[in-house]
Structure 1
């Protein structure tokens, strides 16, 4: 068993694009909805949605189509229903994600899932991820201020009963990285669909393959994980 460093209290996992390759599924559904509305989603708008909650994403989509007059509710409901279909059949693990999550659980280290996705879709995803793998789940519709606000990560640490400064958050999006850094966590960035700009406190890797608890613990000591 990989030994965890004394300072590492918990690991906080983002979901979409970090644990599972679901951003491509969001891409399918969002572009289908844009077509349903008689338009097409621009690449810039799609990039702006990565890591955002459903309300923000629908606002971006409506503005991109020049249809700001549309109510958000029906669009959110359409996306939720389509994504539930895609999640049930199309979720696959990101490279190295299952191995790292398994190592965290085998070591008895607390783990949280911290996602901008709403609870009903998270429940579908947990059929693949395994509910038993997370001590706490914070969904996007369960916070007052979603990512990039620090509230989701602060709430996860609070629910786990650990100091956020002794947590490592693993993220793939700019919104998620901003949220975790502002909360006070050490942050490992593993970009999927959108590149991440180097910022102070962010440790970047191309993949989770080979990442272990010693590496995560080193992040709390300021040891650069990049390779």
Structure 2
């Protein structure tokens, strides 16, 4: 009898311990679910901020309609290095075409951080070298974000819109940005597959390539 009582006591203690553990786990799971439900928007916003700032959106954004695209400067008449593209936030206007003379064509996107740093330097070059056609190609489907991005930076450089990777695909360019092309009379003379760090670096690189 003594041994049987001891066994029953041990079994009862084990059962009680298991019950306590299960109850504690249930409480913790409930608290965790409530915590996540309190502010799901904050978690979602944090993830969106990271993806939009440092990498291209995985699924891509749908292109905005013309009425949704902020106004931008008009573009010189195309094509650009032989590729026909629409003007981002503007129309094609002027007498001198992009593929006439010397052109600098910068490929960028609204989510690209190196582009954010580089584009103001290209704007400087466009002002200091009016004899060069300095234009951009926005390599993303969301034209509205692209136009707003340039306006926020205070960059007036005209840019074309490429929502389907037509430009890079036609010219066989590597799948990276930013890329700056030196185009002479419609022919690509040089590819600068790097972000420039200053207007002086751009000027030196182009001058040497033209020599």
Report if TM-score (shorter chain) is over 0.5: no
Give the TM-score of the pair, scaled to structure 1: 0.35
Q: Which has the higher contact order (CA 8 A, sep 6+)?
A: 1
